[in-house]
Amino acid sequence: MSLPNPGQTDRTAINRLKKRSVEDRDEMYEILDSTILCHVGYVENGQPFVLPYGFVRDGDRILIHGSSGARFMRELAKGIPTCVTVTKLDGMVVARTTYDSSMNYRSVVILGAAEEITGPEKNALLEKVSNGLIPGRVSEVRTSTPKELAATTLLSLSLEEASVKVRTGMPEDGEGSGTGVWSGVIPIRVVADEAIPSDKESEALSLPESVKAFIKNPKA
């Protein structure tokens, strides 16, 4: 069953600057697939917590993994209300006034409750997470041990309730031109530097294909 497009519920409808709302599921997928970092939030005993996590999209859900000993993961696995945000910063919008200055961005907000994934599919999905972060890396390393799998919690969060907001383009200058003040956009993109070996053994080895590919086409 296909899920509704973003921004279709009372909680996800964008009211302010509605022109920046994107109600296209494919565009949401494109944003999620172009980055590997999200921020996960929940409330415990009245105190909000927000932590960064790596993630990948798996169809109509995202996958997040972490230590089974982490309180954060244990709380999320209970199915409590959760909010996940993903943001791509594309540029600094420099207007003729600080009031009109802004940022170009693409963002996704996901609401729901996480579900813990256990059983036979856990290992395969953890490998999907690893390959989603650095494509091709799983085939270059050994298989995870049962102890490592037990020490890792894998969570999924449905994309059923989400919103997408995007800003592009030049400044919307209230001042207009003719003021003698420069305005425009500073584009921002992700660049990966050369990989740094961790020890003498790695210095003597050829750079793995997965690392080469990530450097050419990084996600962050």
- 136 with 211, same domain: the answer is no
**179 falls within a domain:** no
- 126 with 159, same domain: the answer is yes
Give 162: exposed, middle or buried? Use CB within 10 Å, 0-12, 13-18, 19+. buried
Alpha helix ranges (H) inside the chain: 25-33, 71-77, 121-133, 146-150, 200-204, 209-216
At 120-173, the pLDDT tens digits run 899 999 999 999 999 999 999 999 999 999 999 999 999 999 999 999 999 988
**145 falls within a domain:** yes
CB atoms within 10 A of CB 103: 14
At 24-60, the pLDDT tens digits run 899 999 999 999 999 999 999 999 999 999 999 999 9
Domain count of the fold of the chain: 2
Residue 23: which pLDDT band, with cuts at 50, 70 and 90? confident
CB 161 within 8 A of CB 110: yes
- 52 with 151, same domain: the answer is yes
Full domain range(s) for residue 54: 18-91+103-171
**CATH code of 43's domain:** 2.30.110.10
At 184-209, the pLDDT tens digits run 999 999 999 999 999 999 999 999 99
Indicate the range of 9-23, 171-185, 197-211 predicted with least confidence.
Answer: 9-23
- 81 with 162, same domain: the answer is yes
Q: What does the alpha-carbon distance between residue 173 and residue 95 come to, in Å, rounded to a whole number?
A: 6
- 194 with 87, same domain: the answer is no
**216 falls within a domain:** yes
- 81 with 163, same domain: the answer is yes
Indicate the range of 10-14, 73-77, 144-148, 203-207 predicted with least confidence.
Answer: 10-14
- 120 with 214, same domain: the answer is no
CB 157 within 8 A of CB 112: yes
Q: What is the mean pLDDT of residues 99-121?
A: 96
- 153 with 218, same domain: the answer is no
- 165 with 202, same domain: the answer is no
- 50 with 133, same domain: the answer is yes
Q: What does the alpha-carbon distance between residue 92 and residue 171 come to, in Å, rounded to a whole number?
A: 10
- 58 with 167, same domain: the answer is yes
Q: Which of 179, 78, 207 is nearest to 216 (CA)?
A: 207
**53 falls within a domain:** yes
pLDDT of 14 over the 80 cut: no
Determine if the pTM surpasses 0.95. no
**161 falls within a domain:** yes
- 159 with 209, same domain: the answer is no
